[in-house]
Amino acid sequence: MTDCATYRVPFASQLKQGGQTGRFDCTAWATSRAIARATCGKKVPSGRTIRLHSSEAIPDPDSPGLNLFQVAAVAENDYGVYFEIFTGAKALPFAGYEQRRIDGRPGVIQVGYGPIADTKLDAGRGFRDNHAIYEDNFETIESLADGRAPGVWKFDGRLYPRSVMKAAAAKLWTGSHYTGLGHVWCMFARDVIPDYRARVPAGSYLAYQISGAHVVMRRTRRTGGFSGACTPPRHFLWGSRTVTLVQMLSGAKAGQWISHNYAMEG
């Protein structure tokens, strides 16, 4: 049996090994590396497999990449690997990201590629947009770094300079703004699925009706306030939009789906 403490995740090239969706699949490939580490090498899926098992097996022409919630769902459902996701208001400070990484937790970090492209580690051949990269306590696996052409960095097992990764995390484009220095959108594997609780204050809130992976409708409801156990956050499609929700598990509102903004661990 492989010793996870010393297990080194193998490199994989999203372009050379990625099949017809390889150029869209850095998030899937980074997640595949994280699953490998989380299972000590027992399960080493390809990024292509992650893509095919995702809610978007065929890339959306308008937005062909994947987000962290989509790949985390595949990891949990197909490989039993739970990822804790830190995005939006729950993004980590860089120190918090580093603490989890140094602890040995396999992680996927979302970055803007520009700060990496500006170094000798550049493997994008002009690419400077949103990208996803696998990191752990040993190494950075950047799935473009395959040395496929002169001037393209080739993976050598190193951990990328922390100043470069911090700058790249700050350059993630959210659609309306850059995340900014000290904000890291990422996910980390976790051995134990944490308990979540939601607390909705008095006033109005939105309750969603779900069918499979899709929102069917939502209603505005009024409440005097409630709280209770809920599921971890899950991602749903609503037409061309997306929303992250939790389902109440206890109390009078058990069964209702509400925004994950009401939920926290513990």
Partner 1 sequence: MTEERTPPANDDELDADDVRNDPVPIHPDDPQPGEDDASTSPEPPTEGADQ
Q: Which is nearer to partner 1, 40 or 164 (CB)?
A: 40
SS3 content of the chain, % helix, strand, coil (to 5): 25, 30, 45
Spatial separation of the C-alpha atoms in residues 36 and 44, rounded to whole Å: 5
Q: Which is nearer to partner 1, 5 or 102 (CB)?
A: 5
Q: Which is nearer to partner 1, 111 or 167 (CB)?
A: 111
Q: Which of 19, 77, 85 is nearest to 46 (CA)?
A: 19
CB of residue 238 vs partner 1: minimum separation in angstroms?
5
Look up tokens 């962290």; give the residue: 68
- Cβ(101)–Cβ(137) below 8 Å: yes
Name every residue whose Cβ is closer than 8 Å to that of residue 78 and which is 6 or more positions away in sequence. Answer: 45, 53
Look up tokens 């399960």; give the residue: 43
CB of residue 188 vs partner 1: minimum separation in angstroms?
16
CB of residue 84 vs partner 1: minimum separation in angstroms?
13
Spatial separation of the C-alpha atoms in residues 94 and 167, rounded to whole Å: 10
* Residue 265: Cβ within 10 Å count: 10
Quickly list H helices, the chain: 26-38, 47-53, 68-79, 94-102, 114-117, 162-170
CB of residue 91 vs partner 1: minimum separation in angstroms?
10
Q: Which is nearer to partner 1, 1 or 192 (CB)?
A: 1
Q: Which is nearer to partner 1, 72 or 189 (CB)?
A: 72
Q: Which is nearer to partner 1, 60 or 103 (CB)?
A: 60
CB of residue 114 vs partner 1: minimum separation in angstroms?
12
CB of residue 181 vs partner 1: minimum separation in angstroms?
17
- Cβ(97)–Cβ(162) below 8 Å: no
